[in-house]
Structure 1
Amino acid sequence: MTNQNTKLKGNYLIISKLQVKIKLDPKIKKIQRVAFKPTYGGYRLIVQYKTNKEISYLPDNGKYIGIDPGVDNAFTCAGNTGACPLLINGRSLKSVNQYYNKERSRLKSLQAKYHQLESTVQTKQGAKPVYQETKAMQRLTAWRNAKIRQFAHKASKRIVNYALSCEANTIIIGNNKSWKRSSDMGKRSNQNFIGILHKTMIDLIQYKANLQGITVITTNESYTSQTSALDHEKPCWENGNRSRQKQDKTLINRRIHRGLFKTNDGRLINADVNGALQIIKKAFPKFSFDKGIAGVVLRPIKWTPLI
């Protein structure tokens, strides 16, 4: 849309050409762009506006929050602030993805049954059928995307509030550029992991944290789950299992139970919390636990976004 057919009058956006009047947030004073995006049988209105707020980043105060993305625990937050670690429960989003995959497979099987084939494409495995995107599929995808957006906004807000309550001025998030493409956790686990849009959620965390003056750093998370934070091990290749195997050293099986990590001296820690702490060490090698870590041995706080 252009400035000639869109006007901002009070709290309302008026599109004269379409005879549409839409109420906007009162804080929107200057509109830069208005656009309609086709999406699953409908349109989404996109309003881009400019604010006069200048972001002033908080100084580094030595308090850090590390975030380890996952599936069952969508995000695990831990740091050296003395606060209890926070787990963002991802099971609700996992259930949404499982239902989506199951229902989409059912709809595709109906298309195959009634010969609704649109075309075929040649792949390395042979001819692959391509089916038309039906209205039922479009509604299903729109429902799933709405659930993901809702989860992402609620989870990102909770994480930023957690960092503010801990007075941590820096957040470090583990991220690998090719983790989705190269993941090999079995068919079902791969479906769940790839179905969760971690990149979208990380962008939202960064956006909301920056508005509060919190610095967000993304770093490679390799070897963070194989090395021990409480034993002050560096999360690097030399301490990983593959390196130990090449050096003919004994492999250390530290994941003694699902979600439980065992240190060299026998202490038990939540495996995702250990990963989050090692992610901090990736960005800040001299990172220490001067103020301790509450809830390492005990159960961390688990928070479930309602979607």
Structure 2
Amino acid sequence: MPILTIKAKIHSDPKTEAVLKDAMLCATKVYNGLLWHLRKEYEEKGKVKVSRKNLNLILKELPRTRGYYSMSVQLTRDEVIQAYKSFFELRKKGLTKHHAPGFRRKTALSPLKYVQSGFKVQGNKVTLSLGTSRQDGVKSVSFRISHRPHVQYERIRQLSIIYDKISGQLEARLMVEVKTSKNEGSGRVAIDLGETILMACVFDDGTVSLYSGRKIKSIRRYWQKVRANLKQRSRRWFQIAHKERKQVDHLLHIATTHLISECLKKGVKEIAIGDLNGIRENIDYGDSVNQRLHGWPYRKIINMIKYKGELAGMEVRDHIDERNTSRTCHSCGQILVSNRKHRGLYLCSCGWNAHADVNGALNIFEKAFKVSPMKRSSGRVARPVTMSYHLGWHGVTEPNYSASLYAS
């Protein structure tokens, strides 16, 4: 079953909220306490043993472990272990600029995590266990939650209580299992992600859909200029960043929802997406372009396509090797950087010309589904009929002229 995370607003009285915040503060104290003992161990012995057994011994010495649920304490312990594992992996790769995990602020409210036990959800009412050893004698708290309507799920696997710094409110995150729809289709589609062209989607019926990313680019450019005049990481700076993120996420949801609806109309069963892992580490186009590409939310787009596709009964693969797909001619197979004349044109000496992102998406389709190029009677690759879509605040629109773009 696909797993989704549902954001929910918490409605509680001041006393309940105070107890929750105290428990979250205890989680911060436990996290910092574990780090302090590990650092002390390193100073004394020259090495540190990051294991559950060793950290469990340390937990017995920390008084704040009694301030919240015992299983949640163990999840805080696992956060420390994961932080050190990530640090060790980076150090093995020679990335010495990364430092060992640092302390959280004393006033920080760390997430309260519950996995499978310690919580109960009945309708919109949530009850959390806080253990039996709190000094104030509170063993559990109850509150109401509200989330977007029409969300149906089978089982809650994990529940987290977090503090949103922007809104200054507590929120709940429910990781739930959902039922997938039955999909009897057999179609396939390959997707090439980009910045100006957000998604170039090649379907096996010979059509291509292009989703413009210009709206998202303009939003990000505008808010970046606004933030440039603010004090770095100030409260107002974070508020602007939060607003930008919400606007971008809204448009990404519109685009990916429209894509999945088009896939359902065409009977798509399999979706292939180019693998973009490491792209941020392998690019250097100057400060201005690097800033744009490093903020490009490609992983968010992929995650949206994955969970929406899985809900519709589609298989989504996002590890298709993208190496040279933008440089390779889809017709003759020649690999030449200069064939990509400019942002939107791929032109090869063999006579093949197409939108550059369409050319890349066609090559991803071949790699993903192990198919040979579709041939014309003349021996040249057929040009697909391309539909271009523009994003707006209320949906996806199709310009009147787009139906004939790159039509053969």
Asked whether the two chains share a fold, i.e. TM above 0.5, the reply is: yes
Letter of the structure 2 residue corresponding to residue 175 of structure 1: D
Q: CA, structure 1 residues 50+80, in 2 after alignment: closer, same or farther (shift >3 Å)?
A: closer
Q: CA, structure 1 residues 136+211, in 2 after alignment: closer, same or farther (shift >3 Å)?
A: same
| d(CA) in 2 for partners of 1:188, 1:212 | 39
Work out which of the residue numbers 68, 74, 83 in structure 1 matches 2:192: 68
Work out which of the residue numbers 16, 26, 47 in structure 1 matches 2:174: 47
Q: Deviations over 1:73-106 (max 9, x none)?
A: 11111133133x1111111111222123222221
| d(CA) in 2 for partners of 1:176, 1:188 | 20
Give the secondary-structure state (helix, strand or coil) at the position aligned to 1:304. Answer: strand
5 Å-filtered alignment, 1:254-273, equals 254-273=339-358
Work out which of the residue numbers 263, 266, 281 in structure 2 matches 1:181: 281
Letter of the structure 1 residue corresponding to residue 279 of structure 2: W
| d(CA) in 2 for partners of 1:287, 1:165 | 25
Any unmatched runs of 5+ in structure 2?
1-111, 129-140, 377-381, 395-408
The answer to which structure, 1 or 2, has the higher relative contact order (CA under 8 A, 6+ apart) is 1
| d(CA) in 1 for partners of 2:121, 2:338 | 64
Give the secondary-structure state (helix, strand or coil) at the position aligned to 2:268. Answer: coil
TM-score (norm 2): 0.56
Q: CA, structure 1 residues 290+210, in 2 after alignment: closer, same or farther (shift >3 Å)?
A: farther
- How many corresponding residue pairs? 259
Give the secondary-structure state (helix, strand or coil) at the position aligned to 2:200. Answer: strand
Q: Deviations over 1:180-204 (max 9, x none)?
A: 1221233322222221210121011
Give the secondary-structure state (helix, strand or coil) at the position aligned to 1:182. Answer: coil
Letter of the structure 2 residue corresponding to residue 240 of structure 1: I
Give the secondary-structure state (helix, strand or coil) at the position aligned to 2:272. Answer: strand
Cα RMSD between the aligned structures?
2.9
Match of 1:33 in 2: 158
- Cα distance, 1:18 vs. partner? 6.0
Work out which of the residue numbers 309, 328, 340 in structure 2 matches 1:227: 328
Match of 1:82 in 2: 206
Give the secondary-structure state (helix, strand or coil) at the position aligned to 1:169. Answer: strand
| d(CA) in 2 for partners of 1:32, 1:267 | 51
274-283 vs 145-154, which moves further: 145-154
Q: Deviations over 1:147-201 (max 9, x none)?
A: 2321232222122122222223221111221101221233322222221210121
Q: CA, structure 1 residues 54+174, in 2 after alignment: closer, same or farther (shift >3 Å)?
A: closer
Give the secondary-structure state (helix, strand or coil) at the position aligned to 1:256. Answer: strand
Any unmatched runs of 5+ in structure 1?
109-130, 234-238, 242-251
| d(CA) in 2 for partners of 1:284, 1:36 | 42
C-alpha contact (below 8 Å) 2:200/2:357 kept by paired residues: yes
- Cα distance, 1:139 vs. partner? 0.5
Give the secondary-structure state (helix, strand or coil) at the position aligned to 1:224. Answer: coil
Match of 2:385 in 1: 295
Letter of the structure 1 residue corresponding to residue 125 of structure 2: L
| TM superposition outliers: structure 1 runs of 4+ over 4 Å | 1-6, 54-59, 290-293
5 Å-filtered alignment, 1:35-184, equals 35-41=160-166, 42=168, 43-51=170-178, 53=179, 61=186, 63-83=187-207, 85-108=208-231, 133-184=233-284
- Cα distance, 1:54 vs. partner? 5.5
| d(CA) in 2 for partners of 1:47, 1:207 | 15
Match of 1:304 in 2: 391
- Cα distance, 1:4 vs. partner? 6.6
Q: CA, structure 1 residues 32+81, in 2 after alignment: closer, same or farther (shift >3 Å)?
A: same
Work out which of the residue numbers 169, 192, 201 in structure 1 matches 2:292: 192
C-alpha contact (below 8 Å) 1:174/1:221 kept by paired residues: yes
| d(CA) in 2 for partners of 1:54, 1:64 | 18
138-147 vs 37-46, which moves further: 37-46
- Cα distance, 1:29 vs. partner? 6.0
164-173 vs 27-36, which moves further: 27-36
24-33 vs 152-161, which moves further: 24-33
TM-score (norm 1): 0.73
Work out which of the residue numbers 301, 312, 320 in structure 2 matches 1:212: 312
Give the secondary-structure state (helix, strand or coil) at the position aligned to 1:277. Answer: helix
| d(CA) in 2 for partners of 1:227, 1:191 | 27
Q: CA, structure 1 residues 81+18, in 2 after alignment: closer, same or farther (shift >3 Å)?
A: same
| d(CA) in 2 for partners of 1:7, 1:283 | 42
